[in-house]
Amino acid sequence: MTAARRSFSGIAQRRATCAALITTLALLAGCAPRTQPATPEPVEPPARVTAAPAGATATPQPPIPTREPAPSPTLAPTATLIPLDDAPASVRYTLPLVTQHVTETTATLFFELERPAEGIVLAWPEGDPSRQWWAALAPGQARQQIRLNELEPGAAYRVMVALGPEPESGAYHPVAYRGEPWGLVSFRTASDREPLRVGVIGDGGFGDPVTYRLVEEMEYKAAHGIGTLTDEKYRLLFVGVPCYPIFRRFNEMFTQWGGTFINSTYLWFASGGTNRGFEYNLNDPLESLAEGILISVRDAMDSMFYQDQVLAGMVDEFEADGIIYHPIKSCRTVSTGLADNRRAVMASRDIPTLFIESDMMDRRVVSEAQLKNRIDAYFEGLAARRAAA
């Protein structure tokens, strides 16, 4: 055995020892007793209003063990439109309004105010603000969790929290966060007419028939040019990780313009070299392990240090119309230097790029309005560029 083989054998043995230790710790942790949280007292649901056409009723939620939210109120249709004043309310958000969970017919909302205040939750279908439903906030509660029921599958909705009313005008005021208007929160219910789309990371069944059918389907789509969108207008490359706090809405900001993401450098980096398709030789495990590590690690390092060259190649290969840079902090080696990366790519290829920033986890520092304004302006530039070509 050569010195190189002995070195790689030592690496393999140390890796195996480490893996065994981790597995033992995991088993011990799984055997440890776990403390179960106390079961909250049941909350009696309020009377349900059935007069709302295709409307939304709210059901009470189990309280959080600490600082529990108020039980959900009942939403009812408005006889007339609720008067709204643009000036923000004096009471602000501590935790702004967010969508916690969405199904085909329900949506769970959550927020917390600085202190309890009188107000309402106001909801309506997107594009039709005349169909409003409202519910009064629970008195004496700063933290509230509200579940909207009987929503239409595959439909978009807008929702907001408004405090008031004013004694004289009867107007309600939107709630601000950190001195800036939080605005409306949008969500879309899941469709009951479309299958669930999932990403396959690995085949846990060691060759399940469904995996083979998925491969056949993807091969068929690739051969016949069938993509995600039927009205694809702009082919885009993506650099960075998505905006997970508003993951679905973030993607819709591009798809509503006919934008399709056709590739991403992060897919290359996150694969850690497994995208090379290296297959280990079980008859010669140590030699094969050494070869696989050399191939995969080299490729993973290239993905971090030579993104500009790869992006230039993607522009040519996939005939991309633009590149979206979303340089939020994830893995430092990848997210650092993307501004210089962008300049290098634009110097080598005549392609418009967009540089947008948000956050990977914290919804409170994500400004959906600012993102949308910049994305809309970018697509307007793409349209003007195409018209002038």
Residues 246 and 378 reside in one and the same domain: yes
Per the structure, how many domains does the chain have? Answer: 2
Q: Tens of pLDDT along the chain (389 residues)?
A: 444 444 434 444 444 444 444 444 444 444 443 333 334 343 333 333 333 334 444 444 433 333 444 455 556 676 678 899 999 999 999 889 988 888 888 888 989 999 999 999 999 999 888 888 888 888 899 999 888 888 888 899 999 999 999 998 999 999 999 888 898 998 888 876 655 455 555 545 445 677 778 778 888 888 887 776 667 899 999 998 888 888 888 999 999 999 999 888 887 777 778 777 788 888 888 999 999 888 888 888 887 788 888 899 999 999 999 999 998 877 776 777 888 889 999 999 999 999 998 888 888 888 888 999 999 999 999 999 999 98
Cα distance between residue 148 and residue 105, in whole Å: 8
- Assess contact for 188 and 102: CB atoms under 8 A: yes
pLDDT for the residue numbered 342: 92
Opening angle at CA 196, ends 194 and 200, nearest 5: 140
Tokens of 274: 């497994």
pLDDT for the residue numbered 75: 61
Question: Would residue 69 count as lying in a domain?
Answer: yes
CATH number for the domain that contains residue 324: 3.40.50.11900
pLDDT for the residue numbered 283: 87
User: Is the bond preceding residue 165 a cis peptide, omega within 30 degrees?
Assistant: yes
Residues 75 and 170 reside in one and the same domain: yes
**Which SS3 state, helix, strand or coil, does residue 353 take?**
strand
135, 167, 188 - which closes a domain: 188
Cα distance between residue 332 and residue 311, in whole Å: 19
137, 162, 188 - which closes a domain: 188
**Which SS3 state, helix, strand or coil, does residue 85 take?**
coil
What single-letter amino acid sits at 200? V
User: Which pTM was predicted?
Assistant: 0.48
Opening angle at CA 311, ends 310 and 313, nearest 5: 65
Question: Would residue 145 count as lying in a domain?
Answer: yes
What separation, in Å, do the N-terminal and C-terminal C-alpha atoms of the chain show? 63
Question: Would residue 299 count as lying in a domain?
Answer: yes
pLDDT for the residue numbered 280: 83
Residues 160 and 237 reside in one and the same domain: no
- Assess contact for 347 and 353: CB atoms under 8 A: no
- Assess contact for 318 and 262: CB atoms under 8 A: yes
Cα distance between residue 137 and residue 121, in whole Å: 7
Question: Would residue 53 count as lying in a domain?
Answer: no
Domain enclosing residue 98, as ranges:
58-188
Cα distance between residue 325 and residue 340, in whole Å: 11
